DNA sequence: CAAATTTCAGTTCCACTGAGATGG
DNA sequence: CCCATCTCAGTGAAACTGAAATTT
């Protein structure tokens, strides 16, 4: 027989009840769903954030894109390289300030981001699946408040 | 003059309003605070989860610790190496099943985890700082519900 | 033989740092 | 001279994979 060293069934209750722990579980869940969703559309989170921003804000320099999307300057470079290779964006140097690359979304890029929009919308639904409509509203309100959008 | 390609002030509104985005911001915030808190106590999240679990559940094998803490088997090895070097845990092979290492927390380890408990408690407070007591309760309820603890 | 445990080596994603080259 | 931009190289935490060695 084995004292099989399975002393408790769960991790410490004080951790299980922690806001930070619950947040990390919730994020892990949402992140996994998003990652799989993007992968199934041959894409990534950075791609979606960049394309969606270009679509909504219009052509922008890479520095501005980094600020808008909260993606680091050097990660913006890498992600835009991918997107350019696949024909979803184009770079051209800004004639008014030749340090800058003006990044423009292509028609193929628009198609791509529309598809990703659908994927992402489906995932929002899944993430909140267990909550009623009223609870969802409340949950989003509390999240925003917690982040200071009070 | 510069058309400075700052077209909009924020990222796309459809992303800003997404549950998945808000969750990722909330997690990033909480994660940053935890990381800094652990660093200020010369520790890491894995260390805390392992020590707190040992304290609450008693001695356990590494495989069991991995399951309880949700830390991957191979990361458990590395984290326990650190903790053993610093005298916070001890390993001994289980006489009843010599594949297993029985991991035991030392008095120094107990001291350490108590300090971390204080750090972590302070951070819970900071994370929820903008919410009232009633909102905090509600927020935790919704998080748990979303995760299926319904 | 099949299964579990510990360990090591290596990978991937995400976020970031530092430095060089170009240009304002 | 100083600052901004783009780019590349590299770092580090977190989570994971594959495989080997040992034992049950």
pLDDT tens-digit map of A4-42:
444 456 888 899 999 999 999 999 999 999 999 999 999
Q: What is the pTM of this model?
A: 0.91
pLDDT above 90: percentage of residues in chain A = 89
Q: What is the pLDDT of residue A9?
A: 63
Strand D nearby residues, CB < 7 A: A 2, 24, 28, 61-64, 66, 73-74, 76-78, 80-81, 91, 99-101; B 4, 35, 44-46, 70-75, 97-99
pLDDT at B2 over 50: no
Task: Tell me if B139 and A100 make a contact (CB, 8 A cut-off).
Answer: no
Identify whether the C-beta of residue B147 lies closer than 8 Å to the C-beta of residue A26: yes
Locate the chain B residue with the closest alpha carbon to A146. Answer: B130
Q: Which residues of A105-125 are buried (b: 16+ CB within 10 A; e: fewer)?
A: bbeebeebbeebeebbeebbe
Across A116-123, average pLDDT: 96
Whose CA is closest to A101, among A139, A146, A142, A64? Answer: A64
Q: How confident is the model at residue B9 (pLDDT cuts 50, 70, 90)?
A: low
- H-helix segments, B1-150: 13-16, 19-40, 45-57, 62-69, 73-85, 107-127, 133-146
Tell me which of A4-8, A80-84, A135-139, B22-26 is least confident: A4-8
pLDDT above 70: percentage of residues in chain B = 93
Q: What is the pLDDT of residues B17-74, one digit of tens each?
A: 999 999 999 999 999 999 999 999 999 999 999 999 999 999 999 999 999 999 999 9
């Amino acid at each position: 027989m084995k004292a099989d060293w399975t002393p408790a069934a769960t991790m410490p209750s004080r951790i299980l009840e922690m806001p930070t722990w619950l947040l990390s579980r919730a994020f892990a869940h949402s992140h996994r769903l998003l990652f799989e969703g993007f992968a199934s559309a041959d894409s990534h989170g950075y791609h979606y954030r960049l394309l969606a921003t270009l679509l909504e804000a219009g052509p922008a320099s890479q520095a501005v894109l980094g600020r808008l999307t909260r993606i680091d300057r050097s990660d913006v470079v890498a992600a835009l390289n991918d997107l350019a290779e696949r024909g979803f964006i184009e770079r051209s140097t800004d004639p008014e300030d030749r340090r800058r690359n003006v990044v423009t979304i292509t028609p193929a890029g628009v198609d791509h981001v529309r598809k990703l929009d659908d994927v992402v919308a489906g995932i929002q639904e899944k993430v909140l699946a267990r909550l009623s409509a009223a609870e969802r509203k409340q949950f989003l309100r509390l999240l925003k408040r917690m982040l200071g959008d009070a």
